[in-house]
Amino acid sequence: MRLLSSAGFTLALVLSAPAFAQDSTAAGSDDDVHTGDPIIVTAPYVRSLDILGNVSVLEGDELARDIRGQIGDTLTRQPGVSATSFSPGASRPVLRGFSGERVRVLTDGIGSIDASNTSADHAVTIDPLTVERVEILRGPAVLLFGSQAIGGAVNLFDRRIPRKVPADHVHIDAIGGYATAANDRNVGSSIDVALSPQVVAHLDGSWRKTGDMRSGGYVYAPGIRDDLLHLAEHEVEEGHLDEAAELTEQAGKRGRIDNTQSETWTAAGGLSLINDGGQLGVSVSYFDTNYGVPERPNTAHDHGGEEEEGGHEHGEGPVTIGMKQWRADLRGEVEMGDGFFDKLRIRAGYADYQHTEFEGDEVGTVFKNKGVEGRLELAQNDRGGWRGASGVQYSHRDFDAIGAEAFVPRNLTDQFALFTLQEFTLGALGLEAAGRYEKTSVRAQSLGFDRNFDSFSGALGATYDVFEGGKFGLSVARTVRAPSAEELLSNGPHIATQSFEVGDPDLKRESNWGAEASFKLKTDAFSLSLTGYSNWFDNFIYSAATGAEEDELPVFQYFQRDARVYGFEAEASARLAQIGGFNIVGDVTADMTRAKIKNAGLDRNVPRIPPLRVLGGLEAQGDRVDARVEVEWTDNQSRVAQFETPTDGFTLVNASFSWRPLPEAKHLTLSLSANNIFDVEARRHASFTKDYVPLAGRDIRITARASF
């Protein structure tokens, strides 16, 4: 307990710590975090999270291979993961068909404290170049992160608050690369320095700049192309041959997607005190990005008429977003000995966020968000197979939108929560129970709006070791979520999404019964993971097109109906052969989600649900060289919501080659990869902009990653 003075300990009781974001040594490993050995840092008091949830981990060379400008596009090869892919500069993860307010994006267990959950055009303020490890958490256990994690959570770990003293006093990480599809140039680096045997300082920075992205095939989807060609026919009939030629050329546009350029840079510094009594560290970081928002072509035919009076004027210039965030973080841990409690963990973050939506050179709307989030957790020592952790969490959000297109008024959201997770091991049987209470307050003074919500959530789960290496799991959860300020209060035009957004101030709490079953098998030569899940929602909140227009924009309104969401995830990997010094490994990943809304006795599809996807790969793994080829097949999505367009399926072929030139070490990796080798046209159904922002075409990427 000598780490913290009595004053510091009092501060720790006021702040808080993440249930699932702890240091690697707490997970039972003394290995250095730079060795590449597998380290589970999630929920160190829970052995493997396979009772109430499951975890996918992305790190090292695999993370370097998949890294993109936004975390959503970085994770799409993982099971059950798609992305919003609004633009190359803004893409958030979609887990099991859920996004927005049902998926939390975390930095070491604390929210990103930005505006990425409020709208698909808002970027996540985390540069993947600064991340050393990503954990994708699914299933009932993630309710410990909050009711906003019904779909899951993406937990990103950086080293801005050092967890260990470098063995050689100084440790350096660096990554850099170039990609052809968007002329993407990027570099990131960090350094940890041991100022004393107990004090470690950290500095890091990153920079990325891209041009307009090039797609494979047509830029516009068939529906838009047909509308443009139909308009061209009208222009010919009216004798406007130049306009007709313009529309025809636009319909046939291929390759470059206009206004998809971006530039991002970050900088951060941190300091940690680490000794036998625990650790305490702080960091300060800055994030800055500017990116373009592609515009949907105007397919309305005005027959030469003028804009109606009172219509909302657009077209002042391309829409771009300038975004910045200052952030401060704290993490601490106190060793509490051999009593009932093992450790006290604290984690807190504060951020001052702002982004401006520009129309050409003119300021359209400014969004501001000041927020704080913190957790305090007491982890229990193992008592004959019983252990767990309990804690408190608090968050405050002050969100404001200023300008002609401020579609949501200034609002304040406060949330207080109590949570616990308890695990019991009885031979081959494992049992878990989790509970969470939340009190949420949403206020908008300008409207006289003030609503409070009390929510109780809980989960029960069990696993059984049916044979050595084989385990069956089953869990049931009840989760309740309060509606967000955007779902309640939106009412106005949003130029970046090119929509008129309408909320419902009378929305009720959203509640969900969820069940999940899994089977996992792991041997020296084979591994298999199968998970099936189903969710039954009361008062499911969703945004959908109404078919109406307001201010010449399509109206998207928040509705509330009962719904069911179900699906599966599957992963398998097998060692097929050994040829020379190479292990030949085959792997396959598959996932599918279905989602239906109950509406007056009719089942309607939930908007933007990803279709069935299968990804298979063959890899040769050696001491110094790895080579991989993979094929990703995505089905058509014809199960669409009203006013939503279907999406054609696609098949992508990718290949990669990695070389570690230093013998007896993995400190340097040079990688060459080719993605979408056959330059096919591909669109993600989960994207609002899929009909005019396809995925990248053929993309050759060169990456160098070093760790010394």
Q: What is the pLDDT of residues 315-352, one digit of tens each?
A: 567 899 999 999 999 999 999 999 999 999 999 999 99
- 152-157 sheet: strands from edge to edge: 54-59, 133-138, 152-157, 103-107, 110-111
Are the CB atoms for 382 and 23 separated by under 8 Å?
A: no
Q: What is the pLDDT of residues 451-489, one digit of tens each?
A: 999 999 999 999 999 998 899 999 999 999 999 999 999
DSSP string, 454-469: EEEEEEEEEEEEEETT
| Residue 169 forms part of a structural domain | yes
pLDDT band at 45 (very low <50, low <70, confident <90, very high): very low
Are the CB atoms for 398 and 370 separated by under 8 Å?
A: yes
Give me the pLDDT at residue 316, please: 66
17-21, 225-229, 592-596: lowest mean pLDDT where?
17-21
Sign of CA pseudo-dihedral 502, 505, 508, 513: positive
| 619 φ/ψ angles, rounded to the nearest 5 degrees | -135, 140
| Residue 229 forms part of a structural domain | no
d(CA 16, CA 19): 10
- CATH, residue 513: 2.40.170.20
Domain count, the chain: 1
| Residue 15 forms part of a structural domain | yes
| Residue 158 forms part of a structural domain | yes
CA distance readout (Å), 436 to 146, 341, 376: 8, 20, 14
Are the CB atoms for 78 and 57 separated by under 8 Å?
A: no
| Residue 242 forms part of a structural domain | no
pLDDT band at 300 (very low <50, low <70, confident <90, very high): low
Q: What is the pLDDT of residues 603-637, one digit of tens each?
A: 789 999 999 999 999 999 999 999 999 999 999 99
DSSP string, 498-533: TEEEE--TT---EEEEEEEEEEEEE-SSEEEEEEEE
Are the CB atoms for 355 and 321 separated by under 8 Å?
A: yes
Sign of CA pseudo-dihedral 552, 558, 559, 562: positive
| 45 φ/ψ angles, rounded to the nearest 5 degrees | -85, -10
Q: What is the pLDDT of residues 87-124, one digit of tens each?
A: 999 999 999 999 988 999 999 989 999 999 888 889 99
| Residue 51 forms part of a structural domain | yes
Of 352, 344, 484, 353, residue with least CA distance to 408: 484
| Residue 245 forms part of a structural domain | no
Q: Is 2 exposed, middle or buried (0-12, 13-18, 19+ CB in 10 A)?
A: exposed
Mean pLDDT (the chain) is 88
Return the higher-pLDDT residue of 643 and 613.
613
Q: Which residue range forms the structural domain that includes residue 681? A: 6-219+257-707
d(CA 478, CA 142): 12
pLDDT of 38 above 60:
no
Of 611, 571, 608, residue with least CA distance to 98: 608
Place of tokens 């409690």: 341
| Residue 228 forms part of a structural domain | no
